[in-house]
Structure 1
Amino acid sequence: MASSDEPLLDLEVTGIAHGGVAVARHEGRVVFVADAIPGERVRARVRDDRHDRFWRADTVDVLDASPDRRRHPWPEAGLERDPAVRAGGAEFGHIRPARQRALKAQVLAEAMQRFAGLELDVPVGAVSASAADAGAPADPDEPAEGWRTRVRLHVDAEGRVGPYAARSHDVVPVASVPLAVLELQEIAALDRRFEGAAEIDLIAPSAGEAELVVRPAGERRGGAARRGRRAASTRDAARPHIVERVGDRLFRLDRDGFWQVHRGAATTLSRAVREHLDPARFDPDADNLDLYGGVGLLAAAVGDRFGGDARITTVEADRRASEHAAGNLADRPSAQAVAARVDRYLDRLDRGGRTLAGASVVLDPPRSGAGRAVVDRLAALGPAQIVYVACDPVALARDVGLFREHGYGLEAVDAYDLFPDTHHLEAVARLTAIVG
């Protein structure tokens, strides 16, 4: 972290990099600058973790501002604060929403060109977070705040609660959490002391009351450390759960289980998967798969698109999530949930002499992407189409490049701004086997 005796540089900001930082140069060296916008001239303090090839710096003053600069909606993350105590998690908040989305589209395009060899221009669409029409396309000028239905805050040694400072693990006490939905802002208890706690989770399910959950220091997420299968099963049965609503469908999951954080994300991604699946290539009797399936959200979207008789297997490494998926898909007689690592499940298919000829695959990996091992296994099994849901543009581009090595081409891609005021985006792509 930078200190007051680190050097100050006046920099011409020329570009944007993946990770939410802008790009400048100083005497031939690349400088990654936080809290700046391409086209600006800023004064930045160099951080003390300097490298031979590049430096990192934090903007402390704007000498020539972009017309897209705005006052940060989170005061504790703004330039008025010293970089060491700026709240993290809203690194694009100083940029007007329309320019945020343009920069994200630029990062996606550059990643696709570099890692997949493709020239693309994919706009990043605004998504409404209002409770009334969550998931619908939003007015491009609509304020971007108030979208997070899950917020994790940390607790320092004195019991004060807050986010980590940007690019550190120092807890920063704050008076507001403007990215959170209103229900969470109202219960955040930011002025309370939580002695003996490690984290505070704020959760606002779409089919229930908002909750504040205190996680004591030393407790594992998902409950205490397990001692034996029987004890684990007993505790699992008693673990708190929540219910999320997507359209007319309800999804049950553990309270600390994974769910999309933007109020409109589950609806947006369910719709996108339905739209990206090519019905001409979909065989309801094939071994269709939903990989990294969680609690069955996207498997349900497939069933809703093609009917209850469409076969779909959702594969998820988290046993509890897979158990919930089985319950959430119980109305689909041709759906099943398998608790397994995706790479091992694909290995079993291959060893058993199975193929995925004619099958459609929904692929929703973690932020790190599917990676070469899964791409190689999946491509070798030969599905008719793959709908890839990605929350990292570089991981998506890398994996698209790997699929192209196996003869799969990118037919369509759309991108959504499901993480406003941050550098993150969500994209949904369709890949199909190239004929000839």
Structure 2
Amino acid sequence: MSRAPGTKRIPLSREVQEAAIDGFTHGGEGVARIEGKAVFVPGALPGERVALRVVDDRKRWARAELVEVLTGSDLRAAEDDPQRHRCGGCDLEHVTPAGQLRLKTRVVREQLQRLGGLDAPPVADALEVGPAVGYRNRARFHVDGDGRLGFFLPGSHDVLPAAGCRALSADVVAVATEIGTTSASEVTVRAHGDTRAVVLAPGPGGLELPEGTFDLLLEQPDGTTVAMRGDGVLTEGVAGFHYRFDATAFFQNNTAGAAALVREVLAAVAEPATGGVEGALVWDLYAGVGLLSLPLAAAGAEVVAVEGHEEAAAWASRNADDAGLAVEVRAEGVHRFLRTSRSGDAPTDPPDVVVLDPPRDGAGEDVVRDLVALAPATIVYVACDPAALARDAKMLVAGGYRLAGAQPLDLFPMTHHVETVATFTR
């Protein structure tokens, strides 16, 4: 419904009302239409009829709270979980495991269509990668007034205790239990392989360091850390490869999911259309500590790993050396590296394949433009946000590439997050 020019906008009713849910956002919310306006409803699922109450009415959209499910979807789980709809982190606990895969496939496809402008994008069904519970090997906890570790409840500073969180690995829960209570303001716990580390962010008062069988680091006001016990170096095994990195470095929070990413990226690079892995020059952009670089090198590729974070780049080099693999590591920003390559000053030949694993907001216009100018035969894009993937895909297609395939992976069950390995060819 549209209004005549100059007419006053009539706010949506704040009373409880019924509505049909016909959409689903990439942020995990159901979508209803009330008086022509999109209304986002956390906890609601496509195909349901619900009772809702509008709580935030904007010019172009509104948000409502779910009051009651009147007609449920076959995607909705039959039993409630004790933490469901409370913490807010696991925002799809109300969906069956099969339903989560269906919704995540739908989200990737719809984002590529709506934001990417792609007609019938070749999106495969989302794959589960391992256990749906106990998969997270990292957690950043808040601390309540009694010193207990937990997670903020939505819209408040009340803390839901960490005990019983279904997503956390048993090792993370064990370390949190070992810490007990603390005067720190935040606590990060990581458990990789047989290594454990805790990073404390001090509160306003004194800080008593917890005892335990874990390395302990203290976060400084400038964001750096200082080791108080142990060296803070973690070790993780993924797909037969071993990686070392410090406790503040990025590494996948789901070990089985990391192995799935390795598998799918290797499969994409090995496709006949790319010429195969053996002997190919592969640029691994945003390489981190070398998660993808090592398997690519072991499969026979000539790998140049580019990583702008100097410490991560140093670990990538060490990890390659430890594995006896020849990987050229460039510790510089991806955009700068690509610009140098375009100018012809880079000490490396143009790549046959680019593996692109950017941060959540995507590669962006500058990086995509430079990649298009360099014209590698294949770009294998690892995306942690479907909307960012879709925006970059639109630019890649405009630059002469086509989306050959996209494989969503459910690295974060019970949440709306989905990783996608997308392959673009010229």
| TM-score band w.r.t. shorter chain | 0.7 to 0.9
- 2:408 alignment partner in structure 1: 415
Whole-Å separation in 2 of the counterparts to 1:224 and 1:396: 35
Whole-Å separation in 2 of the counterparts to 1:248 and 1:44: 50
Q: Shift of residue 67 of structure 1?
A: 3.0
1:357-372 map, 5 Å? 357-372=350-365
1:283–1:358 contact (8 Å) kept in structure 2:
no
Q: Deviations over 1:206-243 (max 9, x none)?
A: x2144554332389x9843579xxxx89979x851100
* Counterpart selection for 2:194 from 208, 218, 230: 208
**CA distance 1:368–1:128, change in 2 (3 Å):** same
- 1:83 alignment partner in structure 2: none
For residue 102 of structure 1, give the secondary structure of its aligned residue in structure 2.
helix
2:196–2:234 contact (8 Å) kept in structure 1:
no
1:198-237 map, 5 Å? 198-205=185-192, 207-217=193-203, 223-224=219-220
- 1:44 alignment partner in structure 2: 52
**CA distance 1:75–1:210, change in 2 (3 Å):** farther
Whole-Å separation in 2 of the counterparts to 1:9 and 1:234: 54
Whole-Å separation in 1 of the counterparts to 2:138 and 2:26: 24
2:257–2:411 contact (8 Å) kept in structure 1:
yes
1:14-163 map, 5 Å? 14-47=22-55, 49-70=56-77, 74-78=81-85, 86-114=86-114, 115-120=116-121, 121-129=123-131, 144-156=132-144, 159-163=147-151
- 2:253 alignment partner in structure 1: 261
1:257–1:321 contact (8 Å) kept in structure 2:
yes
- Give the letter for the 1:375 counterpart: V
Whole-Å separation in 2 of the counterparts to 1:374 and 1:6: 45
- Give the letter for the 1:15 counterpart: G
Whole-Å separation in 2 of the counterparts to 1:70 and 1:377: 46
Whole-Å separation in 1 of the counterparts to 2:232 and 2:62: 45
Whole-Å separation in 1 of the counterparts to 2:412 and 2:166: 13
1:13–1:40 contact (8 Å) kept in structure 2:
yes
* Counterpart selection for 1:179 from 137, 158, 167: 167
Q: CA RMSD in A?
A: 3.0
Q: Shift of residue 322 of structure 1?
A: 0.6
1:363–1:387 contact (8 Å) kept in structure 2:
yes
**CA distance 1:246–1:190, change in 2 (3 Å):** closer
Q: Shift of residue 353 of structure 1?
A: 4.8
1:251–1:297 contact (8 Å) kept in structure 2:
yes
For residue 83 of structure 2, give the secondary structure of its aligned residue in structure 1.
helix
- 1:311 alignment partner in structure 2: 302
- 1:329 alignment partner in structure 2: 320
Whole-Å separation in 2 of the counterparts to 1:70 and 1:188: 29
Whole-Å separation in 2 of the counterparts to 1:391 and 1:270: 14
Q: Shift of residue 184 of structure 1?
A: 2.3
- 2:4 alignment partner in structure 1: none
Unpaired segments ≥5 residues, structure 2:
1-12, 208-216
Q: Shift of residue 124 of structure 1?
A: 0.4
Q: Shift of residue 111 of structure 1?
A: 1.1
- 1:140 alignment partner in structure 2: none
Q: Shift of residue 61 of structure 1?
A: 2.1
* Counterpart selection for 1:273 from 265, 283, 291: 265
Whole-Å separation in 1 of the counterparts to 2:387 and 2:236: 30
- 2:10 alignment partner in structure 1: none
Q: Does 1:244 align with 2:236?
A: yes
Whole-Å separation in 1 of the counterparts to 2:218 and 2:320: 23
- Give the letter for the 2:188 counterpart: D
2:172–2:189 contact (8 Å) kept in structure 1:
yes
For residue 163 of structure 1, give the secondary structure of its aligned residue in structure 2.
strand
Whole-Å separation in 2 of the counterparts to 1:7 and 1:162: 34
- 1:345 alignment partner in structure 2: 337
User: More deviation in 397-406 or 328-337?
Assistant: 328-337
For residue 160 of structure 2, give the secondary structure of its aligned residue in structure 1.
coil
Name the one with the larger strand percent: 2
Indicate the percent of aligned positions where both proteins have the same amino acid.
Answer: 35
- Give the letter for the 1:224 counterpart: Q
**CA distance 1:320–1:109, change in 2 (3 Å):** same
2:126–2:407 contact (8 Å) kept in structure 1:
yes
For residue 165 of structure 2, give the secondary structure of its aligned residue in structure 1.
coil
**CA distance 1:247–1:169, change in 2 (3 Å):** same
- Give the letter for the 1:21 counterpart: E
Whole-Å separation in 1 of the counterparts to 2:90 and 2:178: 18
2:199–2:218 contact (8 Å) kept in structure 1:
no
Whole-Å separation in 1 of the counterparts to 2:69 and 2:225: 56
Query: TM-score, normalization: structure 1?
Result: 0.82
Q: Shift of residue 185 of structure 1?
A: 3.0
Unpaired segments ≥5 residues, structure 1:
79-85, 130-143
- Give the letter for the 1:147 counterpart: Y
**CA distance 1:258–1:327, change in 2 (3 Å):** same
**CA distance 1:73–1:416, change in 2 (3 Å):** farther
1:74–1:178 contact (8 Å) kept in structure 2:
no
Q: Shift of residue 351 of structure 1?
A: 2.4
Whole-Å separation in 2 of the counterparts to 1:408 and 1:356: 21
